[in-house]
Structure 1
Amino acid sequence: MDFGKQLAAHETSIPGVIVFDLTVHGDNRGWFKENWQRSKMLKLGLPDFGPVQNNISYNESRGATRGIHAEPWDKLISIAAGKIFGAWVDLRPGASYGQVFCCELDPTRAIYVPRGVGNAYQALEDGTIYTYLVNAHWSAEQKKNYTFVNLADPQLNISWPIPLEKSIRSEADLHHPFLADALPMGPRKTFVVGSNGQLGRALQAEVARRGLEGWEFHDIESFDMCDPVAYEHIAWDTFGTIINAAAFTAVDKAETAEGRRAAWNINVEGVAKLCRVAAEHQLTLVHVSSDYVFDGIQESHNESEEFAPLGVYGQTKAAADALVAQLQRHFVVRSSWVIGDGKNFVRTMMDLSHRVAGGKLAQVSVVNDQIGRLTFTKDMAAGILWLLGYREGDTALDDRAPHAEFGTYNLTGSGASASWSDIAARIFDLTGGNGDAVKPVSTAEYFAEAPSPISPRPHYSTLALNKLSATGFVPANWEESLKAYIEAEQAR
């Protein structure tokens, strides 16, 4: 055994598979090593994969051969005693499907194997002890996601040191399919909360349009994110991502005693529970935020601006953003003035335009001192998929696909900022040609006779899109999206 190695990492022919040289200290008594050292190995390229279970396989005799098994978790494999010949086969969908990598491991070498890469080994010495750290708990649900390929497949062309006919194999391993008939590893699933909201519906439509695999959509009937018991019935280790499209958004009601409790319960306590399960299972959490986390003094808000919410709703959204930001794997997607399939400003203005055209109204007052841009949920859905790593044409999220850097991203329509009254006039013109029926008024005037309490609104709600655009995703111009939206509504 080589006691002189320094800790080092080496890439292999399979994307994401990394071989590590381990430093082993030995003398006449035996040897000692750091088998897994998080800080040092992360610096060398090991993903922070969050192991939760340690398994050991003891091999009585030389020639014991196991595999080829691809399990739905990542693992770090090392040897406690003896030596093995290992073979790894990429069973993830993609360009490297079927790629093979082989090497020997002894106590001075380890290998990191990502989810979906098939694993096999042959013991080269009696009493070989093979050990591996994994980042998901074994369960019957997880076992449904295993996939296999035959050790003897000639297409793989693995040169086993001990001929397979002289090896010791299980009955099950003898009958695994060849690569041509093997099932590729399915993707980690995506769990969507709030499926009946405007964004939830847009996500469902976009997922259906692209034919994406492994998505589950839940409304409050099938999953109440505020109920601790609901979390006990989900096999979280089978998921890779949670998208939180649920929220309490009644900004004025949030200023009442009853509404304040509901807003904090849904927007903060519920999000805290999602954060807890995401941290425990190393999941990516996508959380939708709001321009209401700012006071609206600055004309444009970037992602690094400090929170300064004016009302209860904004306070709850800011608190949730701070919780989500503690996760290693997170995207906070900040929007404003959301328009989708459901009750919204555009539909309300279209209805009022029809009433003006029908002689039932003469004018409609709309505030002119709140400035921002519309956010169409179709763009939000596409932007979220982009941040997660999907590209047009993908049907599943490739574990090896490049992702945007985790963090907070503004995601609204692009284009010039406008006031609510400017937007209303455009809607009236596009609907009934009667934009002159929109009367601009101040926020104070508009709410002068409204029952209290009324939540304060940010004066400027425009969110800067530079950070998002730098990832390669540029949202559509909101004015073009508005025209298309109205045309679609009129064609119904």
Structure 2
Amino acid sequence: MVAAELTITTTQIPGLLLVQLPVHGDARGWFKENWQREKMVAAGLPDFGPVQNNISFNASVGTTRGIHAEPWDKYVSVATGKIFGAWVDLRAGENFGTVFTTEITPGQAVFVPRGVGNSFQTLEENTAYTYLVNDHWSADAQQLYTFLNLADPTVAIDWPIPLDQVVLSEKDRNHPYLDAVTPMDPAPVIILGANGQLGRALIAQCDSQQIPYQAYDRSTWDLAEPSGWPLKSLRGARAVINAAAHTQVDAAQTPEGRTLAWAVNATGVSALAAACQHAGVPLAHVSTDYVFDGTLPVDQAYPTDAPLSPVSVYGQSKAAGEAVAATVPRHWIVRTSWVIGDGNNFVATMARLAATGVDPTVVDDQHGRLTFTPDLAQALIHLITTEAPTGTYHYTCDGPTVTWHQIAQWVYHDTGHDPHRVTPVSTADYTAARPGQAPRPTNSTLDLTSTRDAGLAVRDMRSRLTAWLDSSSRTSR
């Protein structure tokens, strides 16, 4: 006997999924794959990364437990017996108080997202209720639970066996009713590098989407000093976004700078990856075009699977950081280039020079595309909130590849100045006049196929620059 194929069905509670499991039976009994990551993720179950498996054995019919909303995702089923399961959405939002009930035998399972109250009542003797969770239980974690009374008249669960006839703990019997329950907020996103251009954009993006977050700058989470990290904040986090890095490309070529670049971009990321893996938290890690040597012909773009070949200390340390970030089971490595944000950057410098009458000399043989931090922040949040597939992504503006000289001319034009005031120069001549310059990729153009496949919007670079300068001009008035 073989049950129906593996299927996953949505319910009226967002994220709560009913799973139909194939059960293979014969004269000896039955067998099922209760959790099979590859098949279940392919069928539509979130890749939630379980780290603990628990079993609750219930000898008597009518044993009732709940309603508990926990600060982690949960995958429940039964090994033997039968239960009546009831789930109530106790998360903040319009679905607060929504109920779903069903009977569960060995042929069914339910995926319960964080913040959805879970409860069950046994319908057969010797029922073994089993569940996977994606965080380690502890007494401290239990303080983050949200509870609801099983007899709450608002949700009005139709229990098969009346609650005055069941085996029920005194604690569960005295949980609060719905009108006294504080809804559970979504798990927070951990933002590292909060004071940087990208960090500030990530905070603004979370604020605009009302996504809870905890932001850390170097004073509170220094990647070079893992011993001082507040690791307890990882418990129950939605994901970590590592927007912190040592980005002083030229300084990294010095003995002192080399040590710091490796401490932050490689060794620190290694410790961060280990901490995320231990806590079962996904990691979104921001990387760079500098992991490539830039020798690809300028009419081509680097795909995500191109071999890494950094030519600078900065690029080497970032390539090493990518390697360790990829060890986290759920990770997104996002490479970007030529980043422009709120702060000191190339576009801001060119706009200031134009306004102050300076005629700059700008290299015209380094090719790539700009990336604006609000767009990159939106992309990172999108990957996390949509639980995009683990892997490496490229994110920049779209449009033809250009040089720094062309961008400088655009800035002069858009700010009302003569673009011919910008003089082109080769990288060789520019660096000859400025000793200590780190080698830069000649071609920094990143292929955006991965971006589009993930459903991410990319913006035209030329029009985005004009809009950015216009907005900056209005803000400075």
Give the TM-score category using the shorter length. 0.7 to 0.9
In structure 1, what is the Cα distance between the partners aligned to 2:255 and 2:304?
A: 31
- Which of 364, 387, 390 matches 2:360? 364
SS of the residue aligned with 2:415? helix
With normalisation by structure 2, the TM-score equals: 0.87
The alpha-carbon deviation at position 196 of structure 1 amounts to: 0.7
Percent identity for Structure 1 against Structure 2: 43
**1:430 is matched with which residue?**
414
Per-residue Cα deviation, 1:16-35 (whole angstroms, up to 9, x for no partner)? 232546557886xxx79678
- Which of 213, 218, 221 matches 1:220? 218
SS of the residue aligned with 1:416? coil
**1:469 is matched with which residue?**
452
The alpha-carbon deviation at position 154 of structure 1 amounts to: 4.5
Per-residue Cα deviation, 1:328-355 (whole angstroms, up to 9, x for no partner)? 3111111111111121111221222233
Q: Retained in 1: the 8 A contact 2:294–2:441?
A: yes
**Aligned-residue RMSD, C-alpha:** 3.0
In structure 2, what is the Cα distance between the partners aligned to 1:202 and 1:47?
A: 27
The alpha-carbon deviation at position 120 of structure 1 amounts to: 1.5
After superposing the two structures, state which structure 1 stretch, 47-56 or 69-78, moved more. 47-56
Q: Does 1:449 align with 2:433?
A: yes
- Which of 390, 395, 405 matches 1:406? 390
Unaligned 5+ residue runs, structure 2?
Answer: none
Within 5 Å, which residues of 2 pair with 1:245-256?
A: 245-256=243-254
Q: Does 1:271 align with 2:254?
A: no
Pair 365,182 (structure 1): closer, same or farther in 2 beyond 3 Å = same
In structure 2, what is the Cα distance between the partners aligned to 1:432 and 1:171?
A: 75
In structure 2, what is the Cα distance between the partners aligned to 1:165 and 1:120?
A: 16
Per-residue Cα deviation, 1:209-242 (whole angstroms, up to 9, x for no partner)? 33x2320110011112232323464242210201
Per-residue Cα deviation, 1:33-62 (whole angstroms, up to 9, x for no partner)? 678554687478565544433444454644
Pair 257,6 (structure 1): closer, same or farther in 2 beyond 3 Å = same
Within 5 Å, which residues of 2 pair with 1:344-359?
A: 344-356=345-357
Pair 180,387 (structure 1): closer, same or farther in 2 beyond 3 Å = same
- Which of 374, 379, 390 matches 2:370? 374
Q: Retained in 2: the 8 A contact 1:293–1:308?
A: yes
Q: Retained in 2: the 8 A contact 1:383–1:475?
A: no
Pair 415,84 (structure 1): closer, same or farther in 2 beyond 3 Å = closer
Per-residue Cα deviation, 1:94-119 (whole angstroms, up to 9, x for no partner)? 786613122044x6765543333322
**1:312 is matched with which residue?**
313
After superposing the two structures, state which structure 1 stretch, 231-240 or 438-447, moved more. 231-240
Q: Does 1:166 align with 2:157?
A: no
Q: Does 1:386 align with 2:382?
A: yes
Pair 257,149 (structure 1): closer, same or farther in 2 beyond 3 Å = same
Pair 434,207 (structure 1): closer, same or farther in 2 beyond 3 Å = same
In structure 1, what is the Cα distance between the partners aligned to 2:248 and 2:60?
A: 68
**2:65 is matched with which residue?**
66
**Matched length:** 466
- Which of 419, 439, 455 matches 2:423? 439
SS of the residue aligned with 2:356? helix
- Which of 457, 464, 467 matches 1:481? 464
Q: Retained in 2: the 8 A contact 1:295–1:309?
A: yes
Q: Retained in 1: the 8 A contact 2:146–2:183?
A: yes
Q: Does 1:343 align with 2:350?
A: no
Q: Retained in 1: the 8 A contact 2:194–2:203?
A: yes
In structure 1, what is the Cα distance between the partners aligned to 2:107 and 2:413?
A: 74
Q: Does 1:11 align with 2:8?
A: yes
Q: Retained in 1: the 8 A contact 2:50–2:280?
A: no
The alpha-carbon deviation at position 167 of structure 1 amounts to: 2.0
Unaligned 5+ residue runs, structure 1?
Answer: 390-401
* Corresponding letter in the other structure for 1:216: Q
**1:323 is matched with which residue?**
324
In structure 1, what is the Cα distance between the partners aligned to 2:107 and 2:457?
A: 48
